[in-house]
Amino acid sequence: MYSIGIDVGGTTTKIGLVDEDGKIFKQDIIDTSTYVDINDFVDAIEQTLRPWMQERSHLACKGIGIGAPNGNFYTGSIEFAPNLPWKGVVPLADLFETKFKLPVIITNDANAAAIGEMRYGAAKGMNNFIIITLGTGVGSGFVANGGIIYGHDGAAGELGHVIVQPNGRLCGCGRNGCLETYTSATGIVKTALEVIQKYPSSILNQKLPLSSKEIFEAAKEGDQAALEIFETTGKILGECLANTVAITSPEAIILFGGLARAGHFIFEPTERHMNTNVLRIWNNKIKLLPSMLPENDVAILGAAALVV
Ligand SMILES: [Zn+2]
């Protein structure tokens, strides 16, 4: 038996076949942005999958799991995703079901990552945890009492759009001061541009335009500006997590994505500020963990685990 996992991203879409032990034994990547028509996109994925499935015609396929930005578990649609080529509501699960005659389950990419982490990674055996992806945007998946929280309309877990700074930075969602505008890869660059004003001798002044990776590299060199950038970012994230903990009382929070690769530079201030601000009953009790899955695999694994 095997499952199909599809991770739809704004730039690329990853497709994989996953066995029951969580091993990806076939995978490929297609360029999402070239498929302006959703039907061409589904056809391209079919062309990738059919030969793989034919090679394994002796094995049963359990179904297709899809993780996608703004993917709605209840409706099987991608709904108003700002970074995908298709506008409005896209009935992706229906389109795949019609083609493959297999069960298709869709959820947002952060929820898929949470399921992957719960089944194969850092949250193995946990019934209550939160995964936060610090990438181009900030996504989150909440697991409570052993299950993903989908909410009334399927859109639960939008920690990236919790307002952490009233009248703060303008967010892609049209409001101001969302967590995403501070703790995403682009958010930390914005913070960097503010902080380096105070540090004319910082090596970051020679690296413009900046990327989050360069801030990490500078921090490793002991650059004061870079260290302050991580401190500021960790403070905003840690304070937000202290509030978040009060809602679902997680055993752990898993940080994932580009910014999490900065390791202790982001983990240490985040954990310190979380513990300074959290209700005393949770003080020093919530584990802040890195993902245990290879970054390239987690979305495919999580998506595939939707149908396991
Ligand atoms: Zn927002």
CA–centroid distance, residue 139 to ligand 1 (Å)? 11
Bridge partner list, 133:
139, 256
What is residue 130's predicted lDDT score, i.e. its pLDDT? 98
The pLDDT score that the predictor gives to residue 296 is: 77
pLDDT tens for 103-145 read 999 999 899 999 999 998 999 999 999 999 998 889 999 999 9
State in Å: Cα 163 to ligand 1 middle: 7
- Give the lowest-confidence range in 53-57, 81-85, 188-192, 286-290: 81-85
- Please report the pLDDT score of residue 56 as a whole number: 93
Four-residue CA torsion sign, 270, 289, 110, 229: positive
pTM of the full predicted structure? 0.90
pLDDT at 293: 87
Q: Ligand 1 centre and the CA of 88: distance in Å?
A: 18
Measure 236 CA to ligand 1 centroid, in angstroms.
15
Instruction: Tell me what pLDDT residue 10 has.
Output: 85
Residue of higher predicted confidence among 255 and 11: 255
Burial of 146 from C-beta contacts in 10 A (0-12 / 13-18 / 19+): exposed
Distance of CA 67 from the midpoint of ligand 1 (Å): 20
**Any residues with CB less than 8 A from the CB of 145 and at least 6 apart, and which?**
127, 128
Ligand 1 midpoint to CA 111 (Å)? 18
Distance (angstroms) between ligand 1 centre and the Cα of 161 equals 4
Q: Tell me: the pLDDT tens digits for 260-278?
A: 999 999 999 999 999 999 9
Q: What percent of the chain has pLDDT over 90?
A: 89
Q: Which residue has the higher pLDDT, 21 or 36?
A: 36
